[in-house]
Chains A and B, each alone.
Chain A
Amino acid sequence: MRYLPLTNEDREDMRRVIGLENVNQLFSNVPNSVSLDPTFNLPNHKTEMEVGRILSGIANKNMNSNQVPFFLGAGAYKHHIPATVDHIIQRSEFLTSYTPYQPEISQGTLQYLFEFQTQVSLMTGMDVSNASMYDGSTSSAEAVSMAKRITKRNKVVISPTLHPQYAEVIKTLISADEDSIDYKFSENLDFSSLISKIDEDVSCVVVQNPDFFGSCHSLEELADHIHSKGALLIVVVNEVISLGMMKSPGDMGADIVACEGQSLGNPLNFGGPYIGLMSTKDKYVRQLPGRIVGETNDMSGEKGFVLTLATREQHIRREKATSNICTNSGLCSLAFTIHLSLLGERGFKKLSKLNHEAAIKFYDKLKNLEGFKVRNKSFFNEFTLELPISAAIFVEKMAGKGVLAGVPVSRLANQDDSFSNLLLVASSEINSDSDREDFIKLAKEVCYE
Chain B
Amino acid sequence: MTDIYYTKDHEWIKVDGGEGLVGITSYASEQLGDIVFVELPQKGISFDQGKDVAVIESVKAASEIYSPASGEIIETNSSLEENPEIINDDPLVAGWLYKIKIINKEELKNLMNEEEYNKLIGV
**A contact residues vs B (CB 8 Å cutoff):** 286, 310-311, 316-317, 320
Q: Give CA–CA (A310, B36) in the complex, Å.
A: 11
Q: Pick from A310, A311, A320 the residue with the most CB of B within 10 Å.
A: A311
Residues of B contacting A311 with CB < 8 Å?
A: 36-37, 57-62
B37 lies within 8 A of A316 (CB):
no
B62 lies within 8 A of A320 (CB):
yes
Residues of B contacting A316 with CB < 8 Å?
A: 60-62
Residues of B contacting A317 with CB < 8 Å?
A: 62
Q: Give CA–CA (A34, B60) in the complex, Å.
A: 40
The smallest beta-carbon distance between A286 and chain B, in angstroms, is: 7
Residues of B contacting A310 with CB < 8 Å?
A: 59-60
Q: Give CA–CA (A286, B84) in the complex, Å.
A: 15
Residues of A contacting B58 with CB < 8 Å?
A: 311
Q: Give CA–CA (A223, B61) in the complex, Å.
A: 36
Q: List 17 A-B contacts (CB under 8 A).
A: A286-B37, A286-B39, A310-B59, A310-B60, A311-B36, A311-B37, A311-B57, A311-B58, A311-B59, A311-B60, A311-B61, A311-B62, A316-B60, A316-B61, A316-B62, A317-B62, A320-B62
Q: Give CA–CA (A286, B58) in the complex, Å.
A: 13
Give 9 A-B pairs besides A286-B37, A310-B59 with Cβ atoms closer than 8 angstroms: A286-B39, A310-B60, A311-B57, A311-B58, A311-B59, A311-B60, A311-B62, A316-B60, A317-B62
Q: Give CA–CA (A411, B1) in the complex, Å.
A: 74
Nearest residue (CB) in A for B39 is A286
The 8 A CB mask of B52-94 against A (1 = contact, 0 = none) is 0000011111100000000000000000000000000000000
The smallest beta-carbon distance between A198 and chain B, in angstroms, is: 22
Q: Give CA–CA (A286, B37) in the complex, Å.
A: 9
The smallest beta-carbon distance between B11 and chain A, in angstroms, is: 18
Nearest residue (CB) in A for B60 is A316
**CB contact list, B34-62 vs A, under 8 A:** 36-37, 39, 57-62
Q: Give CA–CA (A310, B37) in the complex, Å.
A: 12
The smallest beta-carbon distance between A448 and chain B, in angstroms, is: 65
Residues of A contacting B39 with CB < 8 Å?
A: 286
Q: Give CA–CA (A310, B58) in the complex, Å.
A: 10
Residues of B contacting A286 with CB < 8 Å?
A: 37, 39
Nearest residue (CB) in A for B62 is A311
Q: Give CA–CA (A286, B38) in the complex, Å.
A: 11
The smallest beta-carbon distance between B84 and chain A, in angstroms, is: 12
The smallest beta-carbon distance between B4 and chain A, in angstroms, is: 29
The smallest beta-carbon distance between B46 and chain A, in angstroms, is: 15
Nearest residue (CB) in B for A321 is B62
Nearest residue (CB) in B for A306 is B59
Nearest residue (CB) in B for A313 is B62
Nearest 6 A/B pairs, CB to CB? A311-B62, A311-B57, A317-B62, A316-B62, A316-B61, A316-B60
Q: Give CA–CA (A286, B39) in the complex, Å.
A: 10
Residues of A contacting B37 with CB < 8 Å?
A: 286, 311
Q: Give CA–CA (A102, B29) in the complex, Å.
A: 26
The smallest beta-carbon distance between A19 and chain B, in angstroms, is: 39
Residues of A contacting B60 with CB < 8 Å?
A: 310-311, 316
Residues of A contacting B57 with CB < 8 Å?
A: 311
Nearest residue (CB) in A for B37 is A286
The smallest beta-carbon distance between B109 and chain A, in angstroms, is: 30
Nearest residue (CB) in A for B63 is A311
Q: Give CA–CA (A352, B60) in the complex, Å.
A: 43
Q: Give CA–CA (A317, B58) in the complex, Å.
A: 12
Q: Pick from B59, B60, B61, B62 the residue with the most CB of A within 10 Å.
A: B62
